[in-house]
Structure 1
Amino acid sequence: MQLPVMPPVAPMLAKAVPQIPTGELSYEPKWDGFRSIVFRDGDEVEIGSRNEKPMTRYFPEVVESIKANLPERCVIDGEIVVVVGDRLEFEVLQQRIHPAASRVKLLSETTPARFIAFDLLALDDEDFTKRPFAERRAALERAMSAAREPIHLTPTTRDPAEAQDWFSQFEGAGLDGVVAKPLAGTYQPDKRVMFKIKHQRTADCVVAGYRVHKSGPDAIGSLLLGLYNDAGELASVGVIGAFPAARRKELFAELQPLVTTFDDHPWAWAGQLAEPEGRARTPRSSEYSRWNVGKDLSFVPLRPDLVVEVRYEHMEGTRFRHTAQFNRWRPDRDPRSCTYEQLEEPVRYDLADILSAPN
C-alpha cells in the first residue's frame, strides 16, 4: 500500500459544547458507530479505528463494498454502523468484534455493516489534510458521486436552524447528536478542533449494588443503577463510576449499612456471582464481560433504598447507552417511584431518509 497518507492515523476529534454553535461552520449528524478511517490502494484495504488498531478482519462485507464504491486510491474518514429496522443499533455493532473467523463470516451476513463517509484525507496522489474542510467536503462529494448502499455520504448543512432540527429529530433513528466543523479548518489527527452537541438528560435511579475500585477493597468503583418496569421489577439500566479518589472511600463507608444478601435482593439471579454473605468472590471465566475480557461482573448487593439523580445521553433498549454521570442524591424520592415512565422518549425517525438525504 502506497498512499499520500498512510496508516495508522488517529482520527480528528470533537470537544463537547452545550449548544449548537454558529459561524463559518458545516453541520452533520453524529453517527453512533465505530469511528473508522478507510485506506484503499487498489485491492488493498485497511480499516483503521479510534485507537489506530485495524478493524479490517471484522468487516469483510465493508471491505468488499469499499472496493466496489470508493475511488481506487483514497483515504476517507467515517463511521461503521449497523442498521436494524429503521434505526442504528450500537449493541448489535459491538457483537461484530469477535475472535472467531467463522463467527465473523456469519455476522457479516446476518448483521451487515455500512460505512458512512464524512471527510477526505487523501485522493490519488494528493494529501488533503492541509486543505480547509470546505475543499475536502467538495472533493469528497465528487469522489463519492457514484457510491451506492451500503456506502453512504453523510448529509451536511451550513444552516444552524436546520442543524437544530436534526438534533431534535434524528435521535429517533438512533443517532447521537450533531457535529460542527469549521469550514476553514484543516484535518488535525487526535486534536479536538471540531464541536459535538449531544443529548443530556437526567433520571432518578435506584442504587442496587456496587463494585469495588481497582485501587483497593475499601473504595467504590461503580454504583449499579436500576429502574422499575411495568411489571414492578427492578431492571438493571447501567452504572455510574466517575468519583474522586477520596469520595470513593467515603462512599464505601456510607454504603456499608445498606449491604445485604441476595436472598431478598431484586437481582437474586446474580447471587451466584457472590458469596452467600454478600462478599464478592473470584469469578469463573464465564462471569467476565464478553466486551472487556477480565472485567468482573460480580457485585456487592445493596438494599434498594437509595435514589440518585444521574445525567445520561440516551437509552439503548432498556439501558443507558453510555456510563451515566452522577448529578445529586435524591433522599426525597421513593425508590418505587423511579420508573421508566420518567424517561423522555425520542420521536421515531426514518433512518433511510437521513442516509438518502441530498447534500
Structure 2
Amino acid sequence: MSEDVPSSLRPPVSLALAKGGESVPAEGALPGGCMYEPKWDGFRLAIVAGADGVSLWSRQGRDLSRYFPELLEAAATQVPPGCVLDGEAVIWTGDRLDFDALQRRLVTSKGTLPAAAQEHPASFAAFDLLAVAGHDIRSTPLSERRKLLEQLAADWEPPLNLSPVTRDRAEALRWFEELHHAGLEGLVVKGAAQPYQGAVRQWIKVKRREVVDVVCGAVIGPINRPQYVVAGLPVDGRLRIVGRSVPLSAKASRELALYIRSPDGEHPWPAVITETMLNRFSKDKGPVALTLVEPIVVEISADTAWTGNSFRHAVRYLRPRPELATEDVQLPSR
C-alpha cells in the first residue's frame, strides 16, 4: 500500500513566510546559522503527493494543478506518495525568468494549456520538504529537512529542480549581485535550526533594489502635503502609470511639495483611476482620486520586479530631480 500524506498536511497547505530585511544577515544571525537561498520570481507552490495522486497548491490555498500539467506529470512520476514539497514555480524565457508568462497560465483556457506548456514550459525549484514517507517532518530542523530533500531530489530530472543553498555569506552576496540579471529578486535567509512554521514570517527576504528615474505625474493626497507618488514612464510612446510609492515620510512629503504644482494644460492621466492601475494584484477595485501635477522627474528605489509596463511592488521615493527633462526618462532595462 502506498504512503499517503499525513492528515496534518492535507491540502491546502499552510506555508511559511518571510519578512523583509534591508541587508543580508551575518552568518550567525539566525538559529543554527544562516542558510542563504535565491529568491525566485515565480509562484509559491506546494506539491502534495498523496496515495490518490498529486496536486499543486498556491500559498493562498488555491488548487493550481490544472494550470501546470508538466509539473503535475513530473511530480507524479518523480515524487513518491507521502511527500509534501515547498518551492516555486517559474518560467524561463531565454536566460531570464518570465513572470508575465507565468501569470498568463492562470487565464489560459483548458484547450490551449497544452500548447502554452509546450511553448513556455514551467519549472519547479524545491527548497523545503514538509513530509516524507507519510511523516510530518516540519518540527525537524531545516538543516535535516534539507538533507532529506537532497536525497529525494538526487534522481530528479527537469522540470523538477533543487533550489541551491549556501551557508557562505560571501557566496550569497555574489548571488545577490549577479543573479538579478536573470530576474531573481534577491535572497531568502533561513535559520538552519528552525522548524517549519506555516503562516509565520520566520524567514528574512532581502530584495535587490535599483535606483531609477521616473516621472511623477500625480500624487495621492493634497498637493501641499502629498501622501504617495504616482509614477509614470514612457510605454508605447505615452506616459503611462506604472505604480506608486510607499507612503511618504513627513520630511519627504514637505520636500516634494516644494517642487510640484498643478498642471499647466491638458494632462495625459485622468483624475480618477482604479486601484488595479496602481497595483494589478490588488483585490480592491474601487476608485482612487489623483492629484494631477505638472510632470516632474523624481528618483526612486525599486526592486527588480519590473514587468515591462509596471512595477509589481510599491517603490520608494528618494528625491526630486527637477534638473532632468521628463522626455529623457527611459524604461528600466530588464
What band does the TM-score fall into relative to the shorter chain?
0.7 to 0.9
Q: Which residue is 1:314 aligned to?
A: 304
Contact 1:206/1:335 (CA < 8 Å) preserved in 2?
no
Q: Which residue is 2:16 aligned to?
A: 12
Q: Which residue is 1:120 aligned to?
A: 129
In 2: Cα distance, 1:14 partner to 1:227 partner: 31
Alignment of 1:169-184 (within 5 A): 169-184=178-193
Contact 2:166/2:172 (CA < 8 Å) preserved in 1?
yes
Deviation string 1:126-167 (CA, Å, 9 cap, x unpaired) is: 111000001000000111111100110011111111111111
- Displacement of 1:225 after TM fit? 2.2
Distance 1:98 1:288, change over 3 A: farther
- Displacement of 1:228 after TM fit? 5.2
- Displacement of 1:259 after TM fit? 7.8
Contact 1:227/1:338 (CA < 8 Å) preserved in 2?
no
- Displacement of 1:334 after TM fit? 2.9
Unaligned runs of 5+ in 2: none
Contact 2:215/2:329 (CA < 8 Å) preserved in 1?
no
Distance 1:300 1:335, change over 3 A: farther
Unaligned runs of 5+ in 1: 214-218, 271-277, 347-359
Report the TM-score when normalising by structure 1.
Answer: 0.75
Alignment of 1:1-359 (within 5 A): 2-4=4-6, 5-21=9-25, 22-23=27-28, 24-98=33-107, 100-209=109-218, 223-227=229-233, 233=237, 235-236=239-240, 238-243=242-247, 257-258=262-263, 260-261=265-266, 265=268, 280=272, 295=285, 302=292, 304-314=294-304, 316=306, 318-330=308-320, 332-336=322-326, 339-340=329-330
In 1: Cα distance, 2:149 partner to 2:292 partner: 54
In 2: Cα distance, 1:313 partner to 1:338 partner: 22
Contact 2:12/2:61 (CA < 8 Å) preserved in 1?
yes
The size of the alignment, in residue pairs, is: 317
- SS of the residue corresponding to residue 226 of structure 1 reads strand
In 2: Cα distance, 1:184 partner to 1:293 partner: 36
In 2: Cα distance, 1:326 partner to 1:154 partner: 30
Report the AA paired with residue 258 of structure 1: P
In 2: Cα distance, 1:196 partner to 1:288 partner: 23
Deviation string 1:256-280 (CA, Å, 9 cap, x unpaired) is: 8228535xx4xxxx7xxxxxxx554
Contact 2:189/2:204 (CA < 8 Å) preserved in 1?
yes
Report the AA paired with residue 39 of structure 1: V
Contact 1:312/1:324 (CA < 8 Å) preserved in 2?
yes
Q: Which residue is 1:352 aligned to?
A: none
Distance 1:105 1:301, change over 3 A: farther
Worse overlay, 130-139 or 290-299:
290-299
Deviation string 1:2-51 (CA, Å, 9 cap, x unpaired) is: 41122122211112222221221211111110001110114512211121
In 1: Cα distance, 2:171 partner to 2:161 partner: 20
- SS of the residue corresponding to residue 257 of structure 1 reads coil
Deviation string 1:37-78 (CA, Å, 9 cap, x unpaired) is: 110114512211121222112112211111122223210000
User: How big is the alpha-carbon RMSD for the aligned residues of Structure 1 and Structure 2?
Assistant: 3.7
Distance 1:108 1:140, change over 3 A: same
Contact 2:302/2:316 (CA < 8 Å) preserved in 1?
no
Distance 1:160 1:289, change over 3 A: closer
In 1: Cα distance, 2:87 partner to 2:273 partner: 43
Distance 1:103 1:30, change over 3 A: same
Contact 1:238/1:323 (CA < 8 Å) preserved in 2?
no
- SS of the residue corresponding to residue 258 of structure 1 reads coil
Contact 2:85/2:131 (CA < 8 Å) preserved in 1?
yes
In 2: Cα distance, 1:157 partner to 1:167 partner: 12
In 2: Cα distance, 1:116 partner to 1:324 partner: 26
Distance 1:105 1:236, change over 3 A: same
- SS of the residue corresponding to residue 36 of structure 1 reads strand
Contact 2:231/2:245 (CA < 8 Å) preserved in 1?
no
Distance 1:339 1:280, change over 3 A: closer
Distance 1:294 1:260, change over 3 A: farther
